[in-house]
Amino acid sequence: MTRRVVVTGTGAVTPLGLNVKDSWEACKNGVSGVGLITLFDASNYMVKIAAEAKNFDPGDFMDPKEARRRDRYQQFATAAAKEALAESGLTIIEENAGRVGVFVSSGAGGIISLQEAVETIASSGPRRVDPFTIPKLMANGASGLIAIDTGAKGPAMAILSACASGADSIGMAFRLIRGGEIDAAIAGASEASISKVGIGSFDRLGAMSRRNDDYSHTPQPFDKKRDGLVMGEGGAIIVIEELEGAKARGANIMAEIIGYAATGDAFHITAPEEKGTGSASAMRLAMRNAKIDPGEVDYINAHGTGTPLNDAAETRAIKIAFGEKAYDVPISSTKSMTGHIMGMTGALEVIFCTLAIRDGVIPPTAHYQTPDPDCDLDYVPNTAREKKVNVAMTNAFGFGGHNAVLVLRRFDGQLGG
């Protein structure tokens, strides 16, 4: 019998709040986390806006001395993991430690620490470089640190697939639990790439919004006037467990993960495949893995970056995967409020799907004003929608042609295969 996998805890640091509750309330209300960049002097940059995790003090979540040894992306992951574990009530002890995995990723890793090391070498020489630079810049660093913090001794790794990293990390954990190799996992991703290198490099790709004087209306996923993504930062972690073990310890079960699939476009290093066939295949395979039909999906949390290429390609992909049902399913991009948090966002959007199922509320696509003939589906514009959500799907697509799709379902309380 295939084991069932459930969500028992969530944790997040986002541009909308420093915990899940505040982030979700802001998301439901269409609040934007976008503002002028304060983390560095962006006065000579074409892009001067980002979605920062405002008022984040790592000392509120960990010992200040330890915080100094961690990159900002690792600090976010630490804070989110602490919240998720507290909500789940999962206790990791010697007897179960080897059955608890840690799958926490980052698309860019410690890019701020790498940038600081290069600047230090240039100004003061190599002997002045922070001795913790390597542990801080490693993309697997957050995963290792959370394992150390919690004592989890199962598989500890980072799945790196650009902006699909967080979703793939949860997908890997889901598969290992379902297959019986582990019983629980701390899974998700974090990102802190709002930096001179991160903003400057992404802008050179032509992927970013430069609406610096009107940032309250950007990004605009699926809108005809969309002009690019806005970079965000934060961490998103969930605790998932095998159902019978979760029930035996009296855990609060928030939702069930029932399907996952990953595909590759094999098309272009940064652009999505125009017809959307690769991402459509991931959606179809995820539904097959979940043993559901398109008509059973009540909500899609879209990748929806707000770039001209992505949103049109994703719309085409949904039409391929869902056929005539594509026009019936509500779709929203919560990146319209959080910004694009790169590898972390897929994990955050799993949390948002979990809460949409719990609360019967579909979050909106903010800033939607002008319909686009190439994006003609139901994007839940501007205002959240009350609707019972039994099944939710979330899409995450990354540079390199990585596609990851997860399917969640309302937990029905019944044991079964």
State the pLDDT at residue 416: 42
- 54 and 10 together in one domain: yes
State the pLDDT at residue 413: 67
For the chain, residues with pLDDT lower than 50 are 414-417
State the pLDDT at residue 412: 83
With respect to residue 19, please indicate whether it lies within any of the assigned structural domains.
yes
- 64 and 212 together in one domain: yes
- 285 and 348 together in one domain: yes
With respect to residue 416, please indicate whether it lies within any of the assigned structural domains.
no
Q: What is the pLDDT of residues 350-397, one digit of tens each?
A: 999 999 999 999 999 999 999 999 999 999 999 999 999 999 999 999
- 144 and 107 together in one domain: yes
With respect to residue 253, please indicate whether it lies within any of the assigned structural domains.
no
Q: Tell me, what CATH number does 197's domain have? A: 3.40.47.10
For 359: left if phi > 0, alpha if psi spans -120 to 50, otherwise beta; the answer is alpha
With respect to residue 414, please indicate whether it lies within any of the assigned structural domains.
no
With respect to residue 265, please indicate whether it lies within any of the assigned structural domains.
yes
State the pLDDT at residue 269: 87
- 263 and 296 together in one domain: yes
State the pLDDT at residue 84: 98
State the pLDDT at residue 94: 97
- 234 and 308 together in one domain: no
With respect to residue 264, please indicate whether it lies within any of the assigned structural domains.
yes
Residue 201 CB: number of other CB atoms within 10 A? 14
Distance CA 307, CA 353 (A): 22
State the pLDDT at residue 118: 97
Distance CA 159, CA 184 (A): 17
State the pLDDT at residue 274: 84
pTM beyond 0.75, yes or no: yes
With respect to residue 364, please indicate whether it lies within any of the assigned structural domains.
yes
Distance CA 99, CA 184 (A): 7
Domain that holds residue 99: 5-248
Residues with catalytic function: 163, 303, 340
Cis ω before 135 (30° cut-off from 0): no
- 94 and 52 together in one domain: yes
- 264 and 306 together in one domain: yes
- 233 and 349 together in one domain: no
DSSP line for 87-146? HHT----TTTGGGEEEEEE-SS-SHHHHHHHHHHHHHH-GGGS-TTHHHHH-TTHHHHHH
- 297 and 319 together in one domain: yes
State the pLDDT at residue 254: 98
The total number of structural domains in the chain stands at 2
- 302 and 187 together in one domain: no
- 160 and 275 together in one domain: no
Q: What is the largest CA-CA distance in the chain?
A: 63
